[in-house]
Amino acid sequence: MEQKANQYLETLPVGALMGRYAVPCIISLLVAALYNIVDQIFIANADYLGSYGNAANTVVFPLTVVALAVAVMIGDGACAYVSILLGRGKTEDAQGTIGSAVTLTVVSSLVVTGVYLLFSDGILALFGGTVNEETFRQSREYFFWITVGIPFYMFGQAMNPIIRSDGSPRFAMVSTLAGAAFNIVFDPIFIFGLRWGMMGAAVATVLGQVITAALAVWYLRHMKAVTLTGRAFRPRRDLMARFLPLGITSLLSQLSLVAAMAAINNMLRKYGALDPVFSRPEYAQIPMAVVGIVMKFFQIVISIAVGMAAGCIPVAGYNVGAGRKDRALALFRLLLQCEALVGLAALIIVELFPRQLIALFGAANESVYYTAFAVKSFRVYLCMMVLATVNKGTFIYLQAIGKALASTAISLVREVVFGVGFALLLPRFFGLDGVLYSMPVSDFLTFLIAAVVIRRVWRELSSTAADA
């Protein structure tokens, strides 16, 4: 048998390993989330963009998530499978998995870019860009430049978990931080100094993504646990058939978020047109702009939840591969506790400080209707944050220990059946408020299902640990 790499994953305390891997992962995901959020903050505070620019950002955001979905399917799946292979001492297969993932990422990113460029107007209309003429104009401008950067964005996001699986979570974090720092510095220069508008926000984002992708390329040439040769980049169907299913949960989680956003944006447009205030042309974009902002805060919280769970993937996968189910159980227990605490902290913030949150996004430049709808949206839409974070952690941990089917099934129910279904159904009875109710109802019902699965996995890991 080949000598095991990263053997410390089997010996160090699981709490220390979770901190070592989860913290850099959380920071990486938070920084990735901040790309779009920073754009939106600067856009909101530019008097010549305002809520129209915010609405345009909300329209385009789901389309970046589609690209992210494909990237994380490849990256998270490869990360989980490489960790299991390293736990079993199969270094050569780990090398082939990484090489296949790199090639697949490059090809898929070019396909996504081509589709976006060819069908941009129809895609923007599908996600609510036609709410009014100015929003559509700004959406087109922002979307074109964001699309130009899709290959760099997807490559950086797919390689990030692969770098973590090689035992370098800090490098993964630094590479993302470097790109984000560029974006934060140049956003105000392009938007306020040069007054490039939506193009300026997008160009700053893309240039930051180029930096992250370039650092990922450098790391692939200096990996620790494996050595990549030219032969490794030839796609191997047998390995892709193994690692891609482990990333399907990540794919569905993101794609279903896109489907929910499409449903929500269109319901906001439809039922906003029936509202006494938001049916007026000058206020028509407010519901879409506000809910987009609330979703961005939710994304920050979920980035922490996902970061904790994704940081556990190399540790859990390695120990499952090495037959140490007792350590996998201890890690699962710790993860669920941390997820609940994150959700509780977020809940306190949105319930007590919604006005302060919306003030970051240019509320001072908007009407009283903007602030009032934002306060309601924060408090209602995010009232089940504790369950949302626990659900998300459960999905990803199941994926980490090789239970791709269970992970995919629960994720599909949450994001598509509940997330899209209630977003389309509840507004029929409650109007705009129904859009806000769709989120907490979905998270509550999903938790009832997740609790059953958690109990079964807990028993399985406990019995296996006892037998050992």
The pLDDT tens digits for 215-233 are 999 999 888 878 787 888 8
Tokens 């839409």 -> residue: 381
Confidence at residue 212, expressed as pLDDT on a 0 to 100 scale: 93
Dihedral (CA of 280, 281, 283, 284) sign: positive
* Cα–Cα distance for residue pair 367/354, rounded to 1 Å: 16
Confidence at residue 141, expressed as pLDDT on a 0 to 100 scale: 93
* Cα–Cα distance for residue pair 170/16, rounded to 1 Å: 15
Average pLDDT for 352-363: 83
Q: Are 310 and 396 in contact (CB under 8 A)?
A: yes
Average pLDDT for 296-306: 86
More confident residue, 36 or 81: 81
Average pLDDT for 401-425: 85
Confidence band, pLDDT 50/70/90 cuts, at residue 90? confident
Q: Is the pLDDT of residue 294 over 70?
A: yes
Average pLDDT for 158-169: 86
What proportion of the chain, given as a percentage, has pLDDT over 90?
A: 35
3-state secondary structure at position 450: helix
pTM flag (> 0.75)? no
Stretch among 57-66, 357-366, 385-394 having the lowest mean pLDDT:
357-366
Average pLDDT for 246-266: 78
Confidence band, pLDDT 50/70/90 cuts, at residue 364? low
Confidence at residue 353, expressed as pLDDT on a 0 to 100 scale: 93
More confident residue, 336 or 132: 336
Q: Is the pLDDT of residue 464 over 60?
A: no
Neighbours of 336 (CB within 10 A): 18
Confidence band, pLDDT 50/70/90 cuts, at residue 363? low
Mean of pLDDT over the chain: 86
Confidence band, pLDDT 50/70/90 cuts, at residue 339? very high
Confidence at residue 467, expressed as pLDDT on a 0 to 100 scale: 52
Written as six digits, the tokens of 343 are 């959700």
Written as six digits, the tokens of 97 are 């998995």
- Please state the separation of Cα 396 from the chain's center in Å: 12
CA nearest neighbour of 98 among 78, 71, 72: 78
For 100-141, how does the pLDDT look when each residue is reduced to its tens digit (9 = 90+)? 999 999 999 999 999 999 999 999 988 888 877 888 999 999
More confident residue, 419 or 1: 419
Confidence at residue 108, expressed as pLDDT on a 0 to 100 scale: 96
**Range from 52-61, 264-273, 280-289, 374-383 that averages highest in pLDDT:** 374-383
**Range from 75-79, 246-250, 422-426 that averages highest in pLDDT:** 422-426
Confidence at residue 36, expressed as pLDDT on a 0 to 100 scale: 66
* Cα–Cα distance for residue pair 155/103, rounded to 1 Å: 10
Average pLDDT for 443-464: 88
Stretch among 3-7, 154-158, 338-342 having the lowest mean pLDDT:
3-7
Confidence at residue 35, expressed as pLDDT on a 0 to 100 scale: 67
Q: Is the pLDDT of residue 204 over 90?
A: yes
Confidence at residue 440, expressed as pLDDT on a 0 to 100 scale: 95
How does DSSP assign 374-413, residue by residue? HHHHHHHHTTTHHHHHHHHHHHHHHHHTT-HHHHHHHHHI
What proportion of the chain, given as a percentage, has pLDDT over 70?
A: 95
Confidence at residue 2, expressed as pLDDT on a 0 to 100 scale: 47
**Range from 243-257, 313-327, 355-369, 416-430 that averages highest in pLDDT:** 416-430
More confident residue, 80 or 308: 308
CA nearest neighbour of 55 among 376, 283, 255: 283
